[in-house]
Every structure is written in structure tokens, then in C-alpha cells.
């Protein structure tokens, strides 16, 4: 029974760490959004209709 308990605690720890990492990545992207846009250079949308269309991949 002890191995199952240790596995569960390890799993919960990994989930918590992954959630915190996701928050950190989201924060970094939010803070550096405009430099990211300039580096990715997405195509400029010229009309509202084109803005509603998905970007081709």
C-alpha cells in the first residue's frame, strides 16, 4: 500500500509543478507579446472580413 501512496503523492506533486510552469509560460508570453508578434510576423489583415477568416497554415 505504501508504494501506491508514494506514487499518488509524486503524481500530485508533478501536477502542481506543471500548473505553475504553465502559469509562468503564460505570463512570459503576455509580457513579451509585442516582441513575439514582431518576430513571428503574422500576415496583416487589411479588412474586417479578412480578420474574421482563419489564418492559412
Give me 5's grid cell: 501512496
pLDDT at 35: 85
Which pTM was predicted?
A: 0.55
Is 16 within a domain?
A: yes
Is 28 within a domain?
A: yes
56/7: higher pLDDT: 7
42 and 55 Cβ atoms separated by less than 8 Å: yes
CA dist 41 and 34 (Å) reads 10
Is 47 within a domain?
A: no
pLDDT at 3: 94
For residue 11, pLDDT over 90 is answered with yes
Is 46 within a domain?
A: no
pLDDT at 5: 94
Number of domains in the chain: 1
Return the H-helix or E-strand segment holding 52. Answer: helix 48-52
Interval 15-57: pLDDT, tens: 999 999 999 999 998 898 888 878 887 666 666 666 666 666 5
Q: Which domain holds residue 11?
A: 2-41
Amino acid at each position: 500500500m505504501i508504494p501506491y501512496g508514494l506514487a499518488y503523492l509524486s503524481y500530485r506533486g508533478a501536477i502542481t509543478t506543471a500548473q505553475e510552469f504553465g502559469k509562468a509560460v503564460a505570463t512570459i508570453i503576455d509580457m513579451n507579446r509585442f516582441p513575439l508578434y514582431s518576430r513571428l510576423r503574422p500576415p496583416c489583415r487589411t479588412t474586417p472580413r479578412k480578420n474574421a477568416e482563419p489564418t492559412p497554415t
